[in-house]
Amino acid sequence: MCGIIGYLGDREATPVLMDGLKRLEYRGYDSAGVAVLQQGAEMTSVTKSEAKVDLLIAKLQDNMPSGRLGIGHTRWATHGKPTIVNAHPHTDCYGRISVVHNGIIENFAELKQELEAAGHEFVSDTDTEVVPHLIEQYYKGDFLSAVRQALQRIRGAYALAMFSLEDPELLVGARLNAPLVVGIGEGEYFVASDITAIIPYTKKVLILGEGEMAAVTPLGSTVTTLDGLPVEAKVIHVDWDVSQAEKGGFPHFMLKEIQETPEAVSNALRGRLDEDGHVSFMEFNASDQHLRRFEEVRLLGMGTSLHAAMVGENVIEDWAGIPARAQDASEFRYRRPTLGERTLTVVITQSGETADTLVGLRQARDRGSLTVAVTNVVGSTAARDSDGAIYLHSGPEIGVASTKTFIAHLVSQYLLALRLATAHGRVSLERREEIARSLKTLPDEIRRVLANHKEIARLAHHYSRFRNFMYVGRGLNHPVALEGALKLKEISYLHAEGSSGGELKHGPIALLDRDFPVVAICTDCATKEKMISNVHEVVARDAPVLALVSEGDHNLDDLATDVIEVPAADEAASAILSSVVLQLFAYHVAVELGCDVDQPRNLAKSVTVE
């Protein structure tokens, strides 16, 4: 969703805001803006663009406001089209109070009506604009107190950064159901939607909790509840480095992040898996006895993370023999939950901030279920709100389409399944050792897939002339097919569907013809023969077939239109290797079509609103 940043310190604020917004652009890029308190001039300079951050930067370079306090915003539109007037920052009637916001103010219509009746004039269609006007309404000489009173009236989700002309040394941040961090530098402070915006400046970060506010002055930052009660905020040290959040010579973050997959897998495994397949998680340290209590596992996630959950569901049932169920968190939250103390709830979320997933997590926790978050972001809301956490340690992922973290999620699911299987005594030592060996060789096997890059690009070039695709797989490869289709559609805007091989005949096959290719995952697994039958069926309908097969398997050479060989591996490892192939395929199709791979239209990296 939207990205926000604020700065207070000794440097010129504008370049810091510009740099921060560039780093936050993956959260949304419909429009952008900054407000800087201009020193000496006793006025706030507001600059906005109705398009991406680059346009804003060009405007600022022509006319750079000078000041040491400022806020910036890159928008993913919810209320109101992406126009200049709707771009943030928004101000009060006199331009004294400036506010940037990520989230949705649910009661904005009634507040706006009330404020208009009191004489406030609104210029935008946004929900956000009620915030500066509400603060203005309550302002009696104490900005912080006015902010507090205003926030008491607001319902919904917000991360806010704000300042007032009247208090030139005060930057205020507040959050409710949307993330906000405070960066603590040497004599300078930042507030930001996430850590990536500020890593070039500081690694010391304070993560605001739900319903907390930070008042930042040159003397330090004070955290309170929205009611003003002091909160002891914990400062964490971030181990991401700035080069991880830059392209480093690659044309796109997505390609860089796919290339980082071997390292992401090593990081997800590091210190967790012994040669004998014994698994331990530092931040989720439940004993065997404790884990044996669970009769069921629920896995919640959205989008790519839901596909990882489906893989988890499959291996947990298969290896540990425990009933497992992957659920779309946005649907789960509106159903009558049937889980309880004997359910282990696993929430899968790269960002740790997906609104629907967080609500699902809280509902599960409220029903007495033990919760564990699998996430890439240390200190994220999911990690903080869960009983345990399994961190991916993949480093920042900037490309909007998840790639390396999907793979790290799959590795984490395998480790979790192995942990549960061991605790429940459902896996032999030999099998554990076999799984451990396979997982440990994965980084090298992925490197081999990456080395086949040119061949995948060649096929992508050829297939980019089609407008519709059907991805098909069985077993673990069913969610892999769904994820392959999602990746293609989100970055190339082509129509792509995923189906299980069995389901194909029950409807989707009707779509197929010579212009509707099938991407068939036919690597070695228990259902390979069935997949080959599916390929026969679709070839009989004239559909071109791009088949993924295990290296050395020539069964489909004369049947499929094209074949990509994937290093031979067991089913779990193979699902990962095929996923990397499909990510590269989607990437190259999108590049071929001239799409904006890192910032696909209408999408945002982290969906912090419902």
**Residues lying near ligand F6R in the complex (CB under 6 A):** 302-305, 349-351, 354, 357, 401-402, 490, 606-607
Closest among 477, 466, 451, 399 to 567, alpha carbons compared: 451
* Helices 571-592 + 453-463 axis angle, to 10: 60
**Min CB(401)–ligand F6R separation in Å:** 4
CA angle (12 as vertex; 74, 248 as ends), nearest 5 = 60
Which of 18/372 has CB closer to ligand F6R?
372
Comparing CB distances to ligand F6R, the nearer of 202 and 606 is 606
Look up tokens 């804003």; give the residue: 56
Closest approach of Cβ 409 to ligand F6R, in Å?
Answer: 8
Q: Which of 2, 522, 525, 595 is catalytic?
A: 2
- Label the pairing between strands 189-192 and 204-207: unpaired
Q: Which is nearer to ligand F6R, 44 or 305 (CB)?
A: 305
Q: Which is nearer to ligand F6R, 238 or 525 (CB)?
A: 238
Closer CB to ligand F6R, residue 133 or residue 298? 298
Nearer to ligand F6R, 147 or 377 (CB): 377
Tokens of 577: 């290797």
- How many angstroms from the chain centroid is the CA of residue 35? 27
In the bound complex, what is the minimum distance in angstroms from residue 104's beta carbon to ligand F6R? 16
Q: How far is the CB of 230 from ligand F6R (least distance, A)?
A: 31
Q: Is 107 exposed, middle or buried (0-12, 13-18, 19+ CB in 10 A)?
A: middle
Residue 391 CB, nearest distance to ligand F6R (Å)?
Answer: 13
156 exposed, middle or buried (CB, 10 Å; 0-12, 13-18, 19+)? Answer: middle
Q: Which residues contact 172 (CB under 8 A, 6 or more apart)?
A: 143, 144, 147, 160, 161, 162, 163, 213, 214, 215, 216
Which of 52, 256, 528, 605 is catalytic? The answer is 605
Q: What minimum distance in Å lies between the beta carbon of 587 and ligand F6R?
A: 12
Q: Which residue, 56 or 308, is less far from ligand F6R as judged by CB?
A: 308
- Residue 160 burial (CB < 10 Å; 0-12/13-18/19+)? buried
Shortest CB 176 distance to ligand F6R, Å: 19
**CA quadruple 18, 22, 27, 33: dihedral sign:** positive
280 touches 414 (CB < 8 A): no
Shortest separation between residue 433's beta carbon and ligand F6R, angstroms: 32
**Residue at shortest CB range from ligand F6R:** 303
Q: Residue 221: beta bridge partners?
A: 216
Rank residues 272 and 487 by Cβ distance to ligand F6R and give the closer one: 487
48 labelled catalytic: no
**Shortest separation between residue 149's beta carbon and ligand F6R, angstroms:** 33
Between CA 544 and CA 315, with CA 486 as vertex, the angle to 5 degrees is 100
Q: Whole-number minimum distance, CB 388 to ligand F6R, in Å?
A: 17
State how far the Cα of 344 lies from the Cα of 346, in Å rounded to an integer: 6
Contact 192, 74 (CB under 8 A): no
Whole-angstrom distance, CA of residue 519 vs CA of residue 505: 16
- From edge to edge, which strands make up the β-sheet containing 3-8? 43-49, 31-38, 69-75, 3-8, 189-192, 181-184, 204-207, 235-237
Task: Decide: 556 and 538 in contact? Cβ < 8 Å.
Answer: no
CA separation for the pair 314, 324 (Å, rounded)? 7
H or E element at residue 225: strand 220-225
One-letter identity of residue 490: E
Residue closer to ligand F6R, measured from CB, 498 or 567:
498
Comparing CB distances to ligand F6R, the nearer of 404 and 432 is: 404
Minimum distance between the CB of residue 414 and ligand F6R, rounded to whole angstroms?
Answer: 18
DSSP string, 558-580: TTSSEEEEE----HHHHHHHHHH
CB nearer to ligand F6R: give 402 or 534. 402
Cα–Cα–Cα angle for 481, 487, 488, rounded to 5 degrees: 95
Confirm whether 2 is a catalytic residue: yes
Beta bridge partner(s), residue 300: 327, 347
* Residues designated catalytic: 2, 605
